[in-house]
Amino acid sequence: MNPNDERVKILEQAYAQFAQIDSKSLLKKHLTQQVFDTLKTRVTNSGSTLMDVIQSGLKNPDSGIGLYAPDQHAYDVFSALFNPVIEEYHINFTSDDVHPDLDWGVPEQLGDLDPEGQFVISTRIRCARSVNGYPLNPTMTEAHYIDLEAKIQQALNSLEGELKGTYYSLVLMDKETQQQLIDDHFLFKEGDRFLEAANANRFWPSGRGIFFNDMKTFLVWCNEEDHMRLISMEKGGNLSSVYSRLVKAVTEVEKKIRFSRHRRFGFLTFCPTNLGTTIRASVHARFPKLSEDYARFTEIANMYNLQVRGTRGEHTEGEEGVYDISNKRRLGLTEREVVFEMRNGVLELIKQEKQLQ
Ligand code: ADP
Ligand code: CIR
């Protein structure tokens, strides 16, 4: 873009305003004047500018991160901003690193986190996939959403055995059913303001939906934050069982759909926090003693590279002492290592909670 382009002027005004605002986001920390000046005139091959990358964080100063990739090329064009954010979020992933090849490991080695059922209410592991040949959310047309939904639905319809299920389009779903699925932790919420500001909710509910098996232990979100979110979940702490189902599902779906990978960042996602393995392995668990001092609780979780979220997901509160504890980093280590990191950290929290009781 020419420095006199109207879009550069708008960016400059927005950046000046952002400078006055208090924000703990990684965007605020890493979008220095120098980085801003380097990037403000850049455009990706799909026409995305720095504004498309940062507008969610500008509009939501309470963002933890504050940026998204409007298209695959953005990770390279705006690397002066993405790289330091990615390196900080994914701890230890430095500028020389390349994400390793896929390695699921051996699910049976993970075991049960809480065989006596004292702490863990449920276990969930999700991963994200972008479908090769389709743009990311802000650059998708309505036709892309509808076409991709059909492609995903067709691939899922061929699943068999435990993975066999039904696809429910959001367009056809009544509001009560939708709300019940959200309340039961199966479905994504609607109108997420971080995604909204990133231009990721366009044409809603076109092309959006959910697939699940009868037991609701295997689910797929279609065209929400990412093209696909594949989810395995069940009551209790049997991490082996949950992980083994996810591995089976992803392996089967991959036979039908080609996923996009970034040469350095592994599986491609819309949010830089999800790159690499894209795995978030979590428990819903009660830690009544440890969480009495919430600041200390999150500090301990951090020591094991774990993240604490509220009961209804990111940006929500813990209800009745139930927290969502998951691995924080997803990039720079293998699938096996990510899930082991979550396992070891949760086992340690359980040990410490027991000592306090
Ligand atoms: P995601 O993990 O897909 O990035 P969220 O943090 O928004 O996104 O969580 C999505 C949903 O999954 C929420 O309803 C959340 O409560 C639910 N969830 C997460 N972990 C668990 C778990 N271990 N057991 C049950 N539900 C869970
Ligand atoms: C934020 O910046 O808070 C939102 N854009 C969501 C970021 C994803 N968070 C995460 O920790 N994985």
Specify if 40 maps to a domain.
yes
Instruction: Yes or no: say if 28 and 64 are a contact pair by the CB < 8 Å rule.
Output: no
Per-residue pLDDT reduced to its tens digit, 265-311: 999 999 999 999 999 999 999 999 999 999 999 999 999 999 999 98
Cα–Cα distance measured from residue 123 to residue 296, given in angstroms and rounded to the nearest whole number:
23
Instruction: Please work out whether the CB of residue 273 comes within 6 Å of at least one atom of ligand 2.
Output: yes
Kindly tell me if the per-residue pLDDT of 1 is higher than 90.
yes
Mutate-to-test residue for ligand 2 from 63, 90, 273, 331, highest number of ligand atoms within 8 A of CB: 273
- Are 81 and 147 in the same domain? no
Helices (H) and strands (E) in the chain, counts: 12, 10
* Amino acid, single-letter form, for residue 178: Q
* H/E stretch holding 168: strand 165-169
Ligand (nearest to CA of 60): 2
Specify if 102 maps to a domain.
no
* H/E stretch holding 336: helix 335-356
**How far is C-alpha 45 from the geometric centre of its chain's CA atoms?**
25
ipTM of the complex: 0.97
Mutate-to-test residue for ligand 1 from 68, 229, 233, highest number of ligand atoms within 8 A of CB: 233
Specify if 210 maps to a domain.
yes
Within 10 angstroms of residue 169's Cβ, the number of other Cβ atoms is: 16
Per-residue pLDDT reduced to its tens digit, 301-355: 999 999 999 988 888 887 888 999 999 999 999 999 999 999 999 999 999 999 9
Mutate-to-test residue for ligand 2 from 67, 277, 279, 314, highest number of ligand atoms within 8 A of CB: 314
- Are 340 and 248 in the same domain? yes
Distance 287 CA to ligand 1 centre (A): 17
Instruction: Yes or no: say if 194 and 60 are a contact pair by the CB < 8 Å rule.
Output: yes
Cα–Cα distance measured from residue 181 to residue 280, given in angstroms and rounded to the nearest whole number:
20
Supply the pLDDT for residue 235: 98
- Are 287 and 192 in the same domain? yes
Instruction: Yes or no: say if 260 and 251 are a contact pair by the CB < 8 Å rule.
Output: no
Contacts of residue 215, defined as CB under 8 A and 6 or more positions apart, other chains included, come to 162, 234
Q: Which atom of ligand 2 is least distant from the CA of 273?
A: 12
Residue 57: closest CA among 29, 86, 78: 29
Phi/psi at 79 (nearest 5 deg)?
-65, -25
Catalytic residues: 126, 225, 229, 271, 273, 280, 309, 314
What is the count of structural domains for the chain? 2
Cα–Cα distance measured from residue 250 to residue 218, given in angstroms and rounded to the nearest whole number:
11
Ligand (nearest to CA of 342): 1
Domain limits at 84? Answer: 6-89
- Are 73 and 119 in the same domain? no
The predicted model gives 72-92 an average pLDDT of 96
pTM of structure = 0.97
Instruction: Please work out whether the CB of residue 65 comes within 6 Å of at least one atom of ligand 2.
Output: yes
Residue 286: closest CA among 111, 118, 115, 116: 118
Distance 312 CA to ligand 1 centre (A): 7
- Are 83 and 114 in the same domain? no
Instruction: Please work out whether the CB of residue 275 comes within 6 Å of at least one atom of ligand 2.
Output: no
Specify if 223 maps to a domain.
yes
Cα–Cα distance measured from residue 33 to residue 317, given in angstroms and rounded to the nearest whole number:
34
Supply the pLDDT for residue 118: 96
Query: How many residues are given for the chain?
Result: 357
Of 89, 116, 133, the one marking the end of a domain is 89
Cα–Cα distance measured from residue 132 to residue 252, given in angstroms and rounded to the nearest whole number:
16
Q: Which atom of ligand 2 is least distant from the CA of 307?
A: 11
Average pLDDT over the chain, rounded to an integer: 96
The predicted model gives 18-33 an average pLDDT of 97
